[in-house]
Homo-oligomer: A and B are copies of this chain.
Amino acid sequence: MKRIQILKAGLKLFVTQGLHSVTIAQIAAEAKVGIGTVYRYFNSKEDIVQQIWVQQKSEESSYVFQDYAPLGTIREQFDFLWERVIRYFLEHPLEYQFSYQFAASPILTKEIHELAMKDFLQFDELYEKGLKKNLFKPLTARRLRLFTFSTINGWILWALDEKMVLDDTTITMFLQMSWDSISVA
């Protein structure tokens, strides 16, 4: 419980103030917890960041894959999953910003990334199936997934930045754009 409080507090502060200007004492205060307690659960500020990342990716994937069954056409599955990703981030702007800001941070090792990403590998199965049916441009499943993700990722960034209203029509168009970019003409 306290551990989660600390993670949430850290996430909020890191996103709004930037890693370097957040002190452990601030995190403790925001989490309504003693400073010592922070050290009971974490070794350092970097450790907190790493654990937020893992926790975060885990929450994301639960949301995305909840009730997911790979039925229907590839396109339907594609839309189902990516729409979930989009909605998750739009509903959790703080978490999104954290995700964006730290994705390329040197604090997160390759090991942490792999650990955190393992739940997202289901995406690759989808792309594999699409490739077999010659729906996609000739890249590996992994690369197609990364491509779609980075597209969506950047798009959400400015959608939040410009406080765009994201109704169903907009999201549908966006999924169409993502699809068009990887599918064969």
A residues contacting B by CB (< 8 A) are 15-20, 45, 97, 100-101, 103-107, 137, 143, 146-147, 149-151, 153-155, 157-158, 162, 173, 177-178, 180-183, 185
Contact = CB atoms under 8 A, between A and B. Distances in A.
A177 B137 contact: yes
Tell me what chain A mostly uses at the interface: helix, strand, loop, or mixed: helix
Chain multiplicity (copies): 2
B151 A181 contact: yes
A135 to B, nearest CB: 13
Contact of A147 (B103, B105, B155): B155
A18 B103 CA distance: 12
Contact of A181 (B15, B18, B162, B178): B178
Contacts of A101: 101, 104-105
Given A17-B106, A177-B182, 5 more contacts: A104-B157, A143-B158, A147-B151, A147-B155, A181-B181
A52 to B, nearest CB: 14
A185 B180 contact: yes
Contact of A150 (B16, B104, B155, B183): B155
Nearest to A162: B143
Contacts of A146: 154-155, 158
A170 to B, nearest CB: 9
A158 B117 CA distance: 14
A72 B150 CA distance: 30
A45 B18 contact: no
A151 B106 CA distance: 22
A16 B18 CA distance: 17
